[in-house]
Amino acid sequence: MKPIAAVAGALVLLLAWGGAKIPWEKAMARDQRKATYGFSGPTTVAIREKVGQGLALAALGGFRGLAANALMLQAHGAWEEQQWVRVRSALELATMLQPRVAVFWDTASWHLAWNAAVAAEKYSGESSETKRKIEARRWVEAGRDLLERGTKAVPEKALLFQRLGDLYWQRLGDYQEAARCYREALSKGDAPPYLERFVGYALEKAGDKQGALEYFKDLRREMGDAPSQVRRPEVVEREITRLEKETAEKRVRKIK
Amino acid sequence: MIGCLRRISAVAGNTFLEAVRQKVFAVLLVFALVLIGGANYFTEFSFQEQFKFLKDLGYAAISLTGLLVGLLGAAQLIPGEIERRTILTALCRPLRRWEFVVGKYFGLTTYLALMVVIMALAVWGVLGWKEGQFLRAEGLDSETAATIRAEAMDPRLLQAVLLVGAKLAVVAALAVFFSTIATSTTFVMAMTLLVYLIGHLQSVAREQWLETGEVTRWTVRIFLAGVALLVPDFNLYNLIDEIVAGNVVVWRTTLEVLGYSGVYIGVLLAAAACMFEGRDI
């Protein structure tokens, strides 16, 4: 075969395959993107702009997981030095590189809504208590924002909904919202068994004792006659008795 | 047909033995095994994070070592034979040029497959070791223990290994293709590495060329079309990240990517054989 014919033959072959593979690649990429990010994952350009050059090279060269891990290590180092802005930026980037890793969102929100917020409130050295509280609230909101985004990125797992519920309960005192998040977590199928009782506890904390009582009653009914011991039916029954007693006492007080 | 297969397997066997004798590959394998074992020392994180770190580092070590072996091995395949003049004695036998190219490729990929299997076993070994460490910890409830077991011995990791292997096989096919054109090993390595890196941006070029409509200059459009048409989309193998993250990746998706890799390798080998037929030795 003449060299020119060989080159032409190889080129034609590669171009013909190139034309055929593009629709296939597009379909596969679309399916994977849909499965991985929903509909709007971070684009390569966005990653390149936001991540440093070294990490971008790793992330775009097929070592995205390693780049994200390096950022988590960076965040850990910054946390030890109480450099909260650096912690936040490293965590934001790590979750951007690997939005489907639930444990990254979990760790990131814990650092912001708990560690950074407590540090801002108690150890910042700011003399004004109001300013300290505002700053702490800002960190809690940042943690909540991360978790809200995390639940959209990993909607099929219970973990982040549970953590969001914990955040509403422990950091924001919004118990109705906590109950909603716990319910959402329970609908995912991989929630820990104790979480089903937390919906009732959250409703009670929100002041809705009647709602909590009805919830526990429904839960006990749903458990059936021979419930699994892991679901602790005796605790649910104890809660029903306690709430019935308390609501009855409340009614008596009202009548008096 | 049987004669053809015999000739291909003879070349493949010879290439495999040559690769086994290369000390640099053994050193790379040891380096990867040390890296995989060293990943066990990220102990300041939760067990989920530690397992993720282990898996990420393990698969990165497999990818990186496999990439280096593929590059170094394929770069020497044909230019090395030409330089040593051994190709003349090989081709004066009843051996067709395409059989020589295909045999060389299969010899190299068999060696790559062996390395991937050894490293994957090392990753599983380290995961098992870590699992044992966690399970021996005191005060562990049954639910956490079950999660640890599921994290450590996740059967989906087999999908990740297959995807890493397929990606490396495509890179090796690219290197074999370049080695049929090139006269120097440096050229083969540089070109393959460049295509490997561009392959991770191929989807961006494809989108810019076909979907966004942002690029209007025809010179840029021709460049983007060239990248989209001639370079494989290596982002398709990012499913490995999903598997490491513990998310469900259906077998159909994995098999589709493996099928894509298989067809790509076939086309690259056909193009390489075509180029080699016209080459003056």
Give the ipTM.
0.82
pLDDT at B242: 82
**Burial track B69-90 (b if 16+ CB lie within 10 A, e otherwise):** bbbbbbbbbbbbbbeeeebeeb
Contacts of A79 (CB under 8 A, 6+ apart): A87, A111, A115
Is the CB of B57 less than 8 angstroms away from the CB of A63? no
N- to C-terminal Cα separation, chain A: 107
Q: Which one-letter amino acid corresponds to residue A76?
A: H
Region label for B214, one of left (φ > 0), alpha (ψ between -120 and 50) or beta (otherwise): alpha
Q: Give the percent of chain B with pLDDT over 90.
A: 30
What confidence tier does A39 reach under pLDDT thresholds 50, 70, 90? very low
- Distance, CA of B123 to chain centre: 16
pLDDT at A40: 45
Q: What is the pTM of this model?
A: 0.80
Confidence check: pLDDT of A37 > 50: yes
B170 membership: H or E segment, kind and range: helix B157-181
Radius of gyration of chain B (CA): 21
pLDDT at B45: 67
Compute the half-sphere exposure of residue A178: CA atoms within 13 Å on the CB side of its CA.
Answer: 25
What confidence tier does A13 reach under pLDDT thresholds 50, 70, 90? very high
In Å, what is the CA distance from B67 to each residue of B38, B46, B71, B180?
Answer: 20, 31, 6, 19
Which chain A positions have a beta carbon within 8 Å of B233's beta carbon?
25, 28-29
Confidence check: pLDDT of B278 > 50: yes
Confidence check: pLDDT of A54 > 70: no
Nearest Cα neighbor of B189 from B80, B273, B32 is B80
Confidence check: pLDDT of A48 > 60: no
Is the CB of B206 less than 8 angstroms away from the CB of A2? no
Count CB neighbours of B152 within 10 A: 22
pLDDT at A147: 94
Which chain A positions have a beta carbon within 8 Å of B201's beta carbon?
44, 60
Compute the half-sphere exposure of residue B28: CA atoms within 13 Å on the CB side of its CA.
Answer: 22
Q: Which of residues 157-186 of B touch A (CB under 8 A)?
A: 167
Nearest Cα neighbor of A223 from A236, A214, A213 is A236
Confidence check: pLDDT of A44 > 70: no
Confidence check: pLDDT of B270 > 80: yes
Nearest Cα neighbor of A197 from A161, A237, A246, A157 is A237
Q: Is B7 near chain A, with CB under 8 Å? A: no
What confidence tier does A176 reach under pLDDT thresholds 50, 70, 90? very high
Confidence check: pLDDT of B240 > 60: yes
Is the CB of A25 less than 8 angstroms away from the CB of B256? no
pLDDT tens, position by position, A193-243: 899 999 999 999 998 889 999 999 999 998 888 888 888 888 889 999 998
pLDDT tens, position by position, B107-127: 999 999 999 999 999 888 888
Q: Can you tell me the distance from the alpha carbon of A26 to that of B30, in angstroms, rounded to the nearest whole number?
A: 39
Tokens of A195: 């979480």
pLDDT tens, position by position, A82-132: 899 999 999 988 888 888 888 899 999 999 999 999 998 888 777 788 899
Region label for A51, one of left (φ > 0), alpha (ψ between -120 and 50) or beta (otherwise): beta
Average pLDDT over residues A170-185: 94
pLDDT at A59: 65
Is the CB of A72 less than 8 angstroms away from the CB of B60? no
Question: Of the segments A86-95, B19-28, B80-89, which one has the largest average pLDDT value?
Answer: A86-95
**Looking at residue A113, what DSSP letter applies?**
I
Which chain A positions have a beta carbon within 8 Å of B230's beta carbon?
14-15, 18
Question: Of the segments A170-174, B60-64, B135-139, which one has the largest average pLDDT value?
Answer: A170-174
Of B45, B200, B263, nearest to A60 by CB-CB distance is B200
Q: Which long-range contacts does A177-184 make (Cβ < 8 Å, 24+ apart)?
A: A178/A202, A178/A205, A178/A206, A179/A203, A179/A206, A184/A151
Q: Can you tell me the distance from the alpha carbon of B162 to that of B167, in angstroms, rounded to the nearest whole number?
A: 9
pLDDT at A25: 92
Tokens of B187: 């050229």
Q: Can you tell me the distance from the alpha carbon of A32 to that of A100, in angstroms, rounded to the nearest whole number?
A: 12
Q: Can you tell me the distance from the alpha carbon of B85 to that of B144, in angstroms, rounded to the nearest whole number?
A: 62
Please, what is the average pLDDT of chain A?
Answer: 85
pLDDT at A168: 96
Q: Can you tell me the distance from the alpha carbon of B236 to that of A26, in angstroms, rounded to the nearest whole number?
A: 10
Contacts of B80 (CB under 8 A, 6+ apart): B185
Confidence check: pLDDT of B269 > 70: yes
pLDDT tens, position by position, B187-209: 889 999 999 988 988 888 888 88
Question: Of the segments A129-143, B24-38, B150-164, which one has the largest average pLDDT value?
Answer: A129-143
Cβ(B79)–Cβ(B257) below 8 Å: no
